Amino acid sequence: MKSSRAQRIRGLLLVNGVLLLLVLIWLIPVVGLLVSSFRDRFDIQTTPWWAILPHRKWEVVEKIDPRAQGLDASGPMTINGITATFEELRAGVTTPEGQRLQWIGNRRIGTIEVQDKVWTVSWKFTLDNYKQVLQGKSFVYTREDGTVVTIPGDNFYGALLNSIAVALPSTLIPILIAAFAAYGFAWMNFPGRRLMFILVVALLVVPLQIALVPILRDYAKLNLNGTFLAIWLAHTGFGLPLATYLLFNYISTLPRETLESAFIDGASHFTVFTRLILPLSVPALASFAIFQFLWVWNDYLVALIFLGGDRNFQVVTMRLAAIVGDRGQDWHLLTAGAFVTMVLPLIVFFSLQRYFVRGLLAGSIKG
Amino acid sequence: MQYLERRASMELSPIARLVTNLLRIALAALIPLIAFYILYQGFLFLRAGNASKGVITLIAIVWGVGGVAILYWVFNWLVELLPLYWTTRLQPFVFVGPAMAILAWYLFLPSLRTLWISLYGKDGPPGIPLSLLFSSPNEFIALLRAQFVGLGNYIAVFTDRLMREAFRNNIFFWIGVATPLTVIFGLLVAVLADRSKFENFAKAMVFMPMAISFVGAGVIWNFIYEVKPVGSPQIGLLNAIVVGLGGQPQAWPAYTAISPWNNLFLVIIVVWLQTGYAMVLFSAALKGIPEEIIEAARVDGANEMEVFFRIMVPSIRGTIITVTTTVIIFTLKIFDVVWVMTGGQFGTDVIATQFYRQSFIARNSGYGSAIAIVLLIAVIPVMVYNLRRFGEQEAF
């Protein structure tokens, strides 16, 4: 009995330990990004982000002028009871007391630093990174040496508005169209019904790449390229098979009796659809809405092709990708920019996770 | 009502049937066309007026969504004004028609058009007016022929060095490595979370990357792979660990000396993003296994490993297949991560980056279309499987 209990505890520790490790591995990349986005731009480049944790660092406590001490750098020197050559001092020599002596500068005019290892944290947090990526205006800051530097803003604020302008209609329009179609497939009888639904199922996995060249040509004729309308319609078209399929699966399982009694009372299909089916389908509508919203918000390829290069219409993923391309080393911008693109989907995701999971479980293979 | 309908269709004369079908098609096409026109006009008006984005968005939602809704209402109202005989015949097409018309425009016809374009040279089939086909068919065919390359693009797709590299990466690294890793990690987290003390928290954290875009994930992982010159402090986590262990810092995804294994650094990103999806599906499936079966196995003396491999894995086999196919389809079209991280350089090209480069940068429509068709052919087995499963359903 006792051994089985010990075994159980060991099992429990193993399960929770391994899981905790996995969760940490999954979290660390995001934590690193989030922490860095608030750090000073110089700190990001010179110290790793985990320097915000207490760590030991050499700090100068005393500076010695070797010439005043009468030391000759060409041979072994003795300082504070330590004898070392110039090369050794250059690399740093640790004293028995735990101090470090280091020669800074060149052989002739350098100084010797006495350093102590002290606990420290690198806690210089700022909102400047966010200000700079959000602003459309140029950003002025003063360097530590006093020079004033002007950098154009990245206008993520405008890009955020563009993303919202793209994502909301691109989510709502397909839901509306798909809900009508799902109702039609589920509750109406008409010739070609089976064939049409087969088409919907077949198109579920069709890669959207297949449509890009022809649709781009149509848009060129309609003079639609680079407009929001172009991308709303494209996302509507590409999202429609999954929307119809998911909503059909839900609507077709609603209790038949409820609908039939409504029909007997003389209600038309349209009334039943708007008054009965839509309210009952809210969970399914919400699942798809979250699915489509996250998909559209995070999309890069469709936006890249249909919105094109006009900076004024770029969505957040495009702006972020543009910074990666232009200034891939500017981590203060990249981290803040990446977090700005993530905030809204993360809020949606965490507040409506339940619906999102339901949508995933409803069986989804999207093209 | 079904009875009424069936009787009516038996009595229909050929002409009446033709008229009915024409009306049905007209309805299906008219609603999206009018909707498009209204949206288009509104859009032009707003753009000309230089409205702010907030206003455009708000009006787009009210106008776009509301406009589409009103159109449905108006057409339904018109159809309901007709005698019952016509209403029952036409109303389904008010409901289903617009969706089908949009699907036809955005996915079905483009597949055929892309196939057609893929048989032609750089600029695709020449834009000749169709009237020429009737006035001088010989000239029409001659013009088409001049650009026609037959299967030439496909031969190029399968022989080009970069395309072969793309196929290798897609098949070996993305389908062969990323997919099983996603499934294994998803299953591992699902099983562990099921028995842990912090199930919901663990699942939410592993699931979270699903809300992050590939571009965002690219930035996050670029930061982990960031390299600084030897001697200065490494700000990237991976290189800090490598240097801490006495190694040399490297720009990992761009480290051509280990090519093609540098692809693995991109694979990690996608595994990180997709494991949450696999975990959610597995978690739900595991909860569906009756507790008694597992208990019975334990009572019979099975250890946890045996319970997992002999009972859990067979019970959720269906889910494992679904997750695997979904991830395979997904990785087959992988684009954003590769494009943002390496641009397809350093031996990391994939089919979708090649498609993008050929279609939109090199402007070689014929060749790009052939790549898209290859992608389509690759998903056909899954399409057939879906259709077969659908065919088994009783509802239709």
- A139, part of any domain: no
List the A111-120 sheet strands across, edge first.
Answer: A55-64, A111-120, A100-104, A93-94
Does the pLDDT value for residue A367 go beyond 60?
no
Average pLDDT over residues B238-267: 81
Q: Amino acid identity, residue B322?
A: T
Residues A17 and A105 in one domain: no
> Which of A245, A272, A242, A250 minimizes the C-alpha distance to A260?
A272
Q: Which residue in A318, A143, A139, A136 sits closest to A226, CA to CA? A: A318
Q: What is the ipTM of this complex?
A: 0.85
When pLDDT is cut at 50, 70 and 90, the band that residue A364 belongs to is very low
Q: pLDDT digit string (tens) for A224-267?
A: 787 788 888 899 999 999 899 889 888 888 888 877 888 888 77
**Mean per-residue pLDDT, A268-297:** 87
Residue A271 has pLDDT above 70, yes or no: yes
Residue B12 one-letter amino acid = L
Q: Mean of the pLDDT values across residues A293-312?
A: 86
Residues A205 and A321 in one domain: yes
Mean pLDDT of chain B: 82
CATH number of B165-364: 1.10.3720.10
Element (DSSP H or E) covering residue A104:
strand A100-104
Highest-confidence segment of A6-10, A123-127, A148-152, A195-199: A195-199
- A300 at B interface, C-beta within 8 A: yes
**Is A46 within a domain?**
no
Phi-psi region of B231 (alpha: psi -120 to 50; beta: other; left: phi over 0): left
E strand or H helix that includes residue A254: none
Q: Do the domain assignments include residue A134?
A: no
Locate B394 and state its tokens. 């009783």
- Residue A103 lies in domain: 54-120
Looking at the fold, whether A79 and A171 belong to one and the same domain comes out as no
Q: Which of A149-153, A288-292, B11-15 has the lowest mean pLDDT?
A: A149-153
Residues A68 and A7 in one domain: no
Token pair 């680079």 in the structure block, residue: A226
3-state secondary structure of B227: coil
Answer whether residue B9 shows pLDDT above 70: no
Regarding whether A315 and A269 lie in a shared domain, the answer is yes
Residues A63 and A105 occupy one common structural domain: yes
Q: How confident is the model at residue A297 (pLDDT cuts 50, 70, 90)?
A: very high
Whether A357 sits inside 8 A of B64 (CB atoms) is no
Pair A21, A106 in one domain: no
A62 with A208, same domain?
Answer: no
Residues A322 and A265 in one domain: yes
For position A234, what pLDDT does the model report? 92
Q: What does the pLDDT look like over B93-110, one tens digit per residue?
A: 888 888 998 999 999 999
- The tokens of B388 are what? 């077969």
Contacts of A236 in chain B (CB under 8 A): 102, 106
Question: What is the distance between the alpha carbons of residues A41 and A125, in angstroms, rounded to a whole number?
Answer: 10
Interface contacts (A, B; CB < 8 Å): 350
pLDDT score at A235: 93
Q: Are B160 and B176 in contact (CB under 8 A)?
A: no
Asked if the structure places residue A255 within a domain, the reply is: yes
Two structure tokens written together for A111: 């100084």
In this predicted structure, the answer to whether residue B36 has a pLDDT above a threshold of 60 is yes
pLDDT above 60: residue B40: yes
**Does any domain span residue A367?**
no
Closest listed residue to residue A293, CA positions, set A159, A164, A157: A164
The predicted model gives A10-24 an average pLDDT of 88
CATH code where residue A287 lies: 1.10.3720.10
Number of domains in chain A: 3
Report the pLDDT value the prediction gives residue A141, as an integer from 0 to 100.
Answer: 67
CB A64 within 8 A of CB A114: yes
Q: Does the pLDDT at position A365 exceed 70? A: no
Check whether residue A197 and residue A294 sit in a common domain: yes
Distances (CA, A) of B386 to A364, B138, B329, B393: 11, 44, 13, 11
Whether residue A69 sits in one domain with residue A199 = no
A32 CB neighbours in chain B (<8 A) are 220, 223-224, 237
- Of residues A354 and A27, more confidently modeled: A27
Residues 201 through 260 of chain A touching chain B, CB cutoff 8 Å: 201-215, 218, 222, 224, 227-229, 232-234, 236-238, 240-241, 244, 252
pLDDT top residue among B35 and A165: A165
Say yes or no: A175 and A217 in one domain.
Answer: yes
Q: Do A16 and B197 touch (CB under 8 A)?
A: yes
Distances (CA, A) of B346 to A177, B238, B269, B342: 44, 19, 17, 7
Gyration radius (Cα) of chain A, Å: 32
**What local confidence, expressed as pLDDT, does residue A140 receive?**
67
Q: How far is CA A255 from CA A226, A250, A275, A358, in A?
A: 45, 11, 15, 20
User: For residue B251, which amino acid is it?
Assistant: A
Residue A314 belongs to some domain of the structure: yes
Cβ–Cβ gap B396/A194 under 8 Å = yes
Domain membership of residue A231 (yes or no) is yes
Spans of all domains in chain B:
2-94, 165-364
pLDDT in tens, A56-111: 777 777 777 777 777 777 777 777 777 777 777 777 777 777 777 777 777 777 77
User: What is the average pLDDT score of chain A?
Assistant: 82
Distance (Å) from the alpha carbon of B135 to chain A's nearest alpha carbon:
25
Selection from A97-101, A131-135, A217-221, B127-131 with the highest mean pLDDT: A217-221
